[in-house]
Amino acid sequence: MPITNVYNMAGEKVGEIELSAAIFGVELSDGIFGIEPNEAVVHEVVKNHLANCRQGTQSALTKGEVSYTTAKPWRQKGTGRARAGYKGSPVWTHGGVAFAPKPRDYSYTLNKKVKRLALKSALSAMAASDAIVVIDDIKVDEIKTKTFKAFLDAVNVSGKTLVVTESVDEKVVKSARNIAGVTTTIATILSPYMILNNRKLVVSKAALAKIEEVYA
């Protein structure tokens, strides 16, 4: 069963807990942090997320849309050159594009149960690799990057890190946004892509309770 450490903001370790046991009065189920990760489902959900993020604004001109005269460049026979009908042909330099891409919508939907399973798989994978750091409360008194960086150093967290709070805390968001590789989010919009795109998951006790409430 996955075990993670609990720290305070000063980086002092206050205990070790099993994610399926009570955490400071918050009960976490094995169904979220202790399942066998389903890689196929996670792959499908991440692919869906990336597809939904695409703008789909790519566009190129076809042979009928390029601005060229439609006159025949030279007569059909007798010049020794290859036959040519018009300058906008795809085989000519600066001609139109064969099967040119046009603006389109790449987004598609997945079942809610599939998304939920992928999220649980991602959380379980992070727990199994001991990549979840639980903090009793993530708060800063003022907007100061140096203070938040000192907090991350105190809990021995570096590199790509996702900081999860229960609700939007402007001081935390603005203190962390200028630290390379650090991203902040709230528990209710957590996604498999966010989790797997980071090496560490720093989460508050209150955020764990919210994850349990929303995704159990």
Position 215 scores a pLDDT of 77
Position 23 scores a pLDDT of 27
Position 19 scores a pLDDT of 61
Instruction: Output the tens digit of pLDDT for each of the chain's 216 residues.
Output: 556 667 777 777 776 666 643 222 333 455 566 678 889 999 999 999 999 999 999 999 999 999 988 899 999 999 999 999 999 999 999 999 999 999 999 999 999 999 999 998 898 888 888 888 889 889 999 999 999 999 999 988 989 999 999 999 999 999 999 999 999 999 999 999 999 999 999 999 888 888 888 876
The angle that helices 205-215 and 112-128 make with each other, rounded to 10 degrees, is 140
Residues of the chain with CATH 3.40.1370.10: 3-37+109-215
Position 124 scores a pLDDT of 86
Under 8 Å CB-to-CB from 135, ≥6 apart: which residues? 6, 7, 8, 9, 155, 202, 203, 204, 205
pLDDT tens figures, 92-148: 999 999 999 999 999 999 999 999 999 988 988 888 888 888 898 899 999 999 999
Q: Which CATH architecture has domain 3-37+109-215?
A: 3-Layer(aba) Sandwich (3.40)
Sequence letter at residue 165? T
Whole-number Cα distances in Å, 203 to 29, 71, 200:
16, 68, 10
**DSSP structural state of residue 20:** T
- Give the bridge partners for 22, in sequence order: 27
